[in-house]
Amino acid sequence: MNMENEQTQDSAQKERNEENTEIREMGTLDLGNGHSEHGIQLLTIIGEIEGHEAVSGNTKATKYEHLLPRLAEAEEDDKTEGVLILLNTLGGDVEAGLAIAEMIASLSKPTVSLVLGGSHSIGGPLAVSADYSFIVPTGTMIVHPVRSTGMFIGVIQSYRNMEKTQDRIARFIASHSKITQERLVELMLDSTQLVKDVGTMLEGEEAVREGLIDEVGGISDAFRKLHELIRKKKCDDTLSK
């Protein structure tokens, strides 16, 4: 009997160690297997969004080559019924951020995002890519034009390419939230809010009023909404059969 107890404890400890490694290395966690009413995949987007070039060793970063396979796995895994995305990012690589956002938006599983701290710059598309978005009351979102790391743009083609990239971002945000593209561009080009820069910082309630985020709330609200969306999808799937 003691041997059985020891084996059970060893198995539980091994599972905890694996979960801790997954959180530390990937910023993800499977909340199924008895931990949740439904099979939920937790994804965190923390720090800088890392693209094709690695960020400095002292910078916290989310690697898109880690998240994309995890999102593909969530789509194909029958045990995964929904995805919860937690965000606290200052932005980063535009192409990598848009790639992650497009993947989230294209999932057939219900998705909910929660902005904790901030979701700035390319974090905007990431926050609105989910089916439903939350922001904590003290959370912030900063929208601003696309930059080129402080370099002077002396070639008109480069400027036009940046304009196209900015238009891609604005169209994505507008198509996945309640804000219009015209209003978003207006906020991006505001020269009265940010010191030495143009753009707008929106706090929790302001982000909701502008239609960028669906609702002010916290982790319990995000879980409640995700479970609601999962139950609705199951019901719709049953009726369609």
| Residues catalogued as catalytic | 121, 144
CA 205 to the chain's CA centroid = 19
Cα–Cα distance, 146 to 164 (Å, whole number): 10
- Residue among 72, 77, 8, 87 nearest 38 (CA): 77
Sequence-distant (6+) residues with CB within 8 A of 23 are 29
Are 5 and 45 in contact by the 8 Å Cβ rule? The answer is no
- Residue among 76, 77, 4 nearest 39 (CA): 77
- Cα–Cα distances (Å) from 235 to 108, 228, 239, in that order, read 15, 11, 6
Q: Which helix (H) or strand (E) holds 87?
A: strand 82-92
Structure tokens at 200: 């707008």
Cα–Cα distance, 204 to 85 (Å, whole number): 17
Are 166 and 144 in contact by the 8 Å Cβ rule? The answer is no
Cα–Cα distance, 157 to 159 (Å, whole number): 5
Other C-beta atoms within 10 Å of 4: how many?
8
